[in-house]
Structure 1
Amino acid sequence: MKNPIIVVGLGELGSVFARGFLRLGYPVQGAMRNQDLNVLAKDIPEPQAVLIAVGEADIATVLQTIPSAWQERIILLQNELLPRDWIAAKLPTPTVISVWFEKKKGMDSKVVIPSPIYGSQAKLVFDALGKLDLPAYIVDTEAELLYELIRKNLYILTTNIAGLEVGGNVHQLQTEHPQLLQDVAQDILEIQAYLSGQTQDADRLMTGLLEAFAGDPEHGCMGRSAPARLKRALSFADQANLEVATLRRIAQQRL
């Protein structure tokens, strides 16, 4: 019998991955985000993998509670994720997927573009998504992983924060408000450079952003998390003494 896979956080995304793992023939053990994982680790000391599927607001707390026996088996999927998050928890490099499909209650998963995966459990994740007809691909280097994480952060933060000002969908943002798109994206890239400790190729990232726009042109810009994302971005900008004038203007008008 295959070793079980533990899924911490059984929301919409966690449930999608759990279904994929089950279709591969793995037993799946669910865990709530506030559950004592060390107690569970005594019963399951050697899981095949441990998927952390809690939201980004809870990820730092959960990573601090990972049992030592599980630390080489972690899979992460959060938005706004960067290496600093697992480094702060003194974890080795986990398997990471940048999720580019949307799953909401009562609807099927909606794909924007294929989801990149990196790490020792990448094939497991790739195969699980394949069982659900969700496109993905494996990247080979930590440098490429960092690009993919920043590309997703750029997409989420730019669309959400610009959406606070103009609403609409990503096609409208690109075609009707190109200067706002450029200005918000530039501010976000400055913050991402500070958080990652590296300056990425801005042209490549903008091309990657527009590729995602083309994948789902009607994707709404402003999710319910947009105000919190803007506040969090500005807190990082304050730490780094960044001007980010466009973000500050939107905050002054909308928060």
Structure 2
Amino acid sequence: MKDPIIVIGLGELGSVFARGFLRLGYPVQGVTRDMDISLVANTTPNPAAVLIAVGEADIATTLATLPTVWKDKVILLQNELLPRDWQAAEINNPTVISVWFEKKKGMDSKVVLPSPIFGANAKLVFNALSQIDLPSFILDTEEELTYELVRKNLYILTTNIAGLEVGGNVESLANQHSAVMNAVANDVLDIQDWLTETKNDRQRLMEGLLEAIHGDLAHGCMGRSAPARLTRAIGFANQAGLDIPTLRDIANKHLSH
């Protein structure tokens, strides 16, 4: 009998991964927000892995309260995730996947790009996704992981925040509003450089952004979390003392103050 896999957060994404793990023959123990996580850790102190599938708004609290016995088994998949997030919770070397498929209620998973994975449990995640026909690939280095996480952040933040200004889908953003897209992207990358404490390769990231846009041209720009993403981005910029003129201009027009 295989050791169980813990899945914290059983929303759309958590359920997709749980199905993949089950098909590989792993028992899955779900943890919902009204369960006592320490009791689960007492009964299952040595799981095969612990997938944290809560939304990005809950990730800091979830990581901070994670039972110590699980900290070396963590798999993370949140948007807007960077190394500083798991380092702050003293989680060393988690397995991380940058999820490039979308799963909404009542619809099948829609793939934009293959999802990159890095870490000790990368093969487990790769195998689970292949069970449910979702393409992924395994990265070799932490540097590549940082690039992939920044690229995903660039895509989400740029399309969401530019979407507040111009609406529409990512095809119209890239083709008809490229000046807005590039100005937003530049501000977003200033913030990402500060958050990662490194000078990221902007040309490669912008090419990566366009590749993702071409992966699903009909993708709507503005998700419902766009205002929260913009507010969070400006909070980071204020901490860093960054100008980010385009983001501030969009916030002045579209956020209620």
TM-score (norm 1): 0.99
Identity %: 67
Deviation larger for 128-137 or 63-72: 63-72
Matches within 5 A, 1:125-204: 125-204=125-204
Equivalent-residue separation in structure 1 for 2:50 and 2:129 (angstroms): 16
Equivalent-residue separation in structure 2 for 1:7 and 1:111 (angstroms): 22
Shift in Å, 1:33: 3.2
The reply to whether residue 26 of structure 1 matches residue 26 of structure 2 is: yes
Paired position in structure 1 for 2:5? 5
Paired position in structure 1 for 2:71? 71
Counterpart secondary structure, 1:224: coil
Equivalent-residue separation in structure 1 for 2:185 and 2:35 (angstroms): 38
Q: Deviations over 1:48-96 (max 9, x none)?
A: 0000000000000000111111111000000000000011101112000
Equivalent-residue separation in structure 2 for 1:35 and 1:115 (angstroms): 30
Contact residue 60 and residue 85 of structure 1 kept, 8 A: yes
Paired position in structure 1 for 2:222? 222
RMSD (Å), alpha carbons: 0.6
Equivalent-residue separation in structure 1 for 2:243 and 2:2 (angstroms): 52
Runs of 4+ in structure 1 off by over 2 angstroms are 33-36
Equivalent-residue separation in structure 2 for 1:116 and 1:129 (angstroms): 11
The code of the aligned residue for 1:80 comes to E
Equivalent-residue separation in structure 2 for 1:91 and 1:20 (angstroms): 25
The code of the aligned residue for 2:241 comes to N
Equivalent-residue separation in structure 2 for 1:33 and 1:168 (angstroms): 35
Paired position in structure 1 for 2:238? 238
Equivalent-residue separation in structure 2 for 1:34 and 1:50 (angstroms): 18
The code of the aligned residue for 1:113 comes to L
Equivalent-residue separation in structure 2 for 1:33 and 1:94 (angstroms): 22
Equivalent-residue separation in structure 2 for 1:242 and 1:64 (angstroms): 28
Equivalent-residue separation in structure 1 for 2:226 and 2:219 (angstroms): 14
The code of the aligned residue for 2:117 comes to I
Q: Deviations over 1:193-252 (max 9, x none)?
A: 111111110000000000000100000000000000000000000000100000000000
Contact residue 45 and residue 70 of structure 1 kept, 8 A: yes
Number of residue equivalences:
255
Shift in Å, 1:35: 3.0
Counterpart secondary structure, 1:7: strand
Shift in Å, 1:34: 4.8
Shift in Å, 1:167: 0.5
Unaligned runs of 5+ in 2: none
Q: Deviations over 1:102-155 (max 9, x none)?
A: 000000000000000000000000000000100000001111000000000000
The reply to whether residue 113 of structure 1 matches residue 103 of structure 2 is: no
